[in-house]
Structure formats: structure tokens, C-alpha cells
Structure 1
Amino acid sequence: MASIIRAPPLLFPATARHTATVIFVHGLGDTGHGWAGAVENWRRRQRLDEVKFILPHAPAIPITCNRGMRMPGWYDIHTIDGNAESLRRNEDEAGIMLSQAYFRELIQKEIDSGIAPDRIVLGGFSQGAAMSLFSGLTAKVKLAGIVALSSYLLLSLKFADLVPKPEFNKETPIFMAHGDSDQVVNTALGKKSYELLKGMGYNATLKIYEDMGHSACPEELDDVEAFLRERLPALGNSDAKSEL
């Protein structure tokens, strides 16, 4: 695992003064390019002009449920059979922690470049969303928000012990979304993860999309855009670095 080679992320610079950053993480078997269309659509609407988008690429790793074949992944998965509990069994903790460290590096690079942590949103889809949820809530800086589409809470049985004290993101808004027909990451697991987070006092919301499987729909992407606009409002000529 230590010899993993990572390609540089796909970058979409802000079209106005750069005051905020969104790191959006793809799912298993995909690349950052898989979400480029969604980002380009948001940019065409010119409502997130001050936002830089970072779309990282997962390294190719052996995936057990794929008979050990190598494919882009943020951690190994043993079983994908639609069962709500399967993804919680035999979790690849080492792989999860390695990816967590990588996302912390991406966040820190943005902070080092002058972007306040509370102007950074971490989000993703499926495996990428699970990593975003886990990495965001265990971050040692307060983020602007977390987006988790069609995902679940990683290492849920020991999650509370992995969160730093103090908890920087206890009140950070979390937008969770799931299709009601998801046969890959079962909708019940998404709901259970949401309930676990709410039970621990996190500021999470969950929206279920009718007749949507393990994918994204235009309504969901519009809702993500609205969340990003709310969490990362344009600053114009005000000081974007005042919180540093």
C-alpha cells in the first residue's frame, strides 16, 4: 500500500477570484473525469464562480469483490450484494486510513494556498462519498460542509473513537442523498448511517430520491449545487482570508 502511485487531481480553477474550494471524490471504478460533466454544468450556471473544484483520481488497487482485479478504488471492498450489512463487514481499515491521509493533504494544500478551511467543502459519490464523510468528520479543521451521495458511514462500529477531540465538525452541515432503488449501496444502509450520525449529534440531513438507483439524477445535482451555494456564498471584494 505504501507504494501507491497517485495521479494529480483534475482541476477546475475558479472563474472569478478564488475564495472557496470543493473537493469532490468519485466512486469505485471511476476517475475524477466521471464527475467533470457535473462540475462543468455547475460552472456554466455561473453561481459558483469563486469556487475551485478538485476532482481526485483513486489509484488502481486490488478489489476483493472484483476477484482481486485492480481498479480505481479508495479502499478494498469484500462484498457488494445489496445487503445493508455486507459493506460493514471486513472493512479495509488500512486502505480507508491511507485515503483519509490523502484527503487531509488535499485540504491542507488549499489552506496553505490561502483558502480558509470554512470555505472548503468535501464531498463525493458512493465510495468517494463514504471517504468524504469519514475524512470530513475526522478532520482537524472545521470545514464548510460535507456532501455524501449514495454512501454510508465507514468504520461505524468504532467511528466515535476515531474522531479527534475537540470535534471540529460536530456542527458542520452534512448533505446526504440516496436513491430509494439503490441495489449497490442499499438505501437502508444509507438511512442507518444517517440515523447513527444524527444520534451522535451531527448536523446531517438526508434526502431520498424516488426511483433512483446507484446513480445521480438532475434533481439531486441541483440540490448539491444549492447546498454548495449556501455553504460557499460569493464574497466578492470582501476578505476571503479573514478566518485564517
Structure 2
Amino acid sequence: MSVALKSLILNATTKHTATVIFLHGLGDTGHGWNLPVEGIFRCDSDLSHVKWILPHAPSVPVTANFGRVMPAWFDIKTFDFVSNEDERGMLSTVSSVNQLIAAEIDAGIDPGRIVVGGFSQGGAISLLTAFTNERKFAGVVCLSGWVVMRSKLKGMCTQHASSTPIFWGHGTADPLVTLDIGRTSVDFLKTTLGISAVTTERSDAPALKGVLFKDYAGLQHGAAPEELDDLKEWLKVILPKNSE
């Protein structure tokens, strides 16, 4: 059963024509991404039309953290991230995110002007949300995340999975969701889901589809200024300001 998510809302500073829904990682809240969004994205005039929704995950026991109750989009049973997955929790969260998406569409925002993204757990949920949704979004963002439900995902994907632009950033020194996990996940997207690789974010928006994977030297389980700057430039292509 899905739950209504509380969120930190950062409204567009000019006419609202696009929305980014960004999900935090394990143990965090939407407030943890307030500073990066304010300091990097919202201060850029080319993204002033974008509304940011930063949802807060409900607090649940996390098995891999000795049952400690903390904000989480789903339970993590083990830190290998692929065995004994909490599929029920994942799908419940996808349903909750879809409620946020539906509210934006009801308010007049076209699905093609919505980006769903997140960090770590949030990135994993964002991929699952986009791949299984009947609507095609402007793009998906996964920072330091991984692909979940691999044994079932191909059968769950809609026709839009292979053509939706994906920005994937990952640190080379990530000790938790390792670079190998990230690369293996991207390989899964390419070989199993038929998603193409993109070599540059500087393309015309209609032709920009597939996964753009960028790694960042020395970055651990976090986000780096260079990574967020790259994401900002990608968003300018995916959500151009002059699209009304």
C-alpha cells in the first residue's frame, strides 16, 4: 500500500513549466538536498522554470542496519543490494512517487517535462519508477545508485524504458554502492533492457536518449560539485527553458 509522501517544495522562480522530483538516500530527508538544489540548480537562470520536489521517506526498520528505524524508501536486507530484495517496499514507494507525478500532471505539467531522480536508494527507486510507468518522462537521474528487481524488471518495463534519457553519476571510491555495482547496473540496462549508451550530454533533446554514465575520481558515497554541475548542464538540455 502506498503512502502520501510529505515533501520539501522549492517552487520555480519564473513561470513553472517543468518539475524535478528528487529522492534522497538512506537515513536522509528531503532537507538534505535543499542546499545543493538552492546553491547549484535554482540559482541558474536557465533552470528558473523548474519546480523541485524533495520528498521525505517514511521511517522503517532497516535489516542491514541491525533493524534500526530510519528514513528509507525500502528495507535493505543485505548490503550486496541484489539478494533478498524488499520488492513489496520498492513497489509501494513507486506507487507513492507516482502520486506526486500525477499531482504535477493534474496541475498542468506535461510528463515530458518531468524528471524523476535520486541518490543511492532514491536513484534505484527513480529508475524503477520511470521504467515501469506508462508515461514517458523527460529523463531519469541516478546518483550512486543501482538497478533493483533485475530478475523481473525486463517484463515490467514499458515501451519508454529504452528511449528515456538517463544521467548516472557514480564515485570511483564509493565504499557502499561500489563503482562495480554501478557499472554492472549500467551494463544490465544496456544488455538486458536494450538501453543505449550516450557519450555526451551536449545533444539536441529529441535525440538524447539512453544512459549517460559518468564516474568521478575519488568520490565516495556522496555527491561532488563537478557531478552536480554536470547534472545541471544535462538538465538544461532535458528541460529547456524555452519550452512552454
**In structure 2, the residue corresponding to 1:52 is in which secondary structure?**
strand
1:140 to 2:134 alignment: yes
2:17 corresponds to 1:19: yes
- Identify which of 100, 104, 121 aligns with 2:115: 121
Deviations 1:106-136 (A, max 9, x none): 1111111100000000011000011001111
SS of the equivalent of 1:58 reads: coil
- For the 8 Å contact 1:6–1:59, the answer to whether it is kept is no
What is the aligned partner in structure 2 of residue 201 from structure 1? 194
Percent identity between the two aligned chains:
45
Match of 2:61 in 1: 62
Q: Residue 223 of structure 1 aligns to which amino acid in structure 2?
A: D
Superposition deviation, residue 179 in structure 1: 0.5
Q: Which residue of 1 aligns with 2:177?
A: 185
Give distance in 1, aligned partners of 2:5 and 2:217. 36
1:216 aligns with 2:223: yes
Residue number in structure 2 paired with 1:77: 76
Q: Deviations over 1:135-164 (max 9, x none)?
A: 111111010000100011010121101113
Q: Number of matched residues?
A: 228
- Do 1:77 and 1:91's aligned partners in 2 also have CA atoms closer than 8 Å? yes
Deviation at 1:176, TM superposition (A): 0.7
Name segments (4+ residues, structure 1) moved above 4 Å: 4-7
Shift of 1:7: 5.1
Q: Which runs of 5+ in 1 are unaligned?
A: 81-85
- Does the 8 Å contact 1:194/1:205 carry over to 2? no
Q: Deviations over 1:155-188 (max 9, x none)?
A: 0121101113xx1232011011110111100111
Matches within 5 A, 1:23-38: 23-38=21-36
TM-score, normalization by structure 2: 0.90
Aligned to 2:240: 233
Work out whether residues 6 and 58 of structure 1, in 8 Å CA contact, stay in contact via their aligned partners in 2: no
1:45 Cα offset (Å): 2.5
Q: Distance in 2 between matches of 1:218 and 1:97?
A: 31
The answer to whether residue 109 in structure 2 is matched with residue 98 in structure 1 is: no
What is residue 170 of structure 1 aligned with on the other side?
162
DSSP 3-state at the match of 1:177: strand
Ranges in structure 2 where 5+ consecutive residues have no aligned partner: 196-209
Contact 2:3 2:96 (C-alpha < 8 Å) held by counterparts: no
Give the conservation status (yes or no) of the 8 Å contact 2:28–2:71. Answer: yes
Matched, 1:161 2:155: yes
Q: How far, CA to CA, are the matches of 1:205 and 1:45 in structure 2?
A: 22
Q: Normalising by structure 1, report the TM-score.
A: 0.90
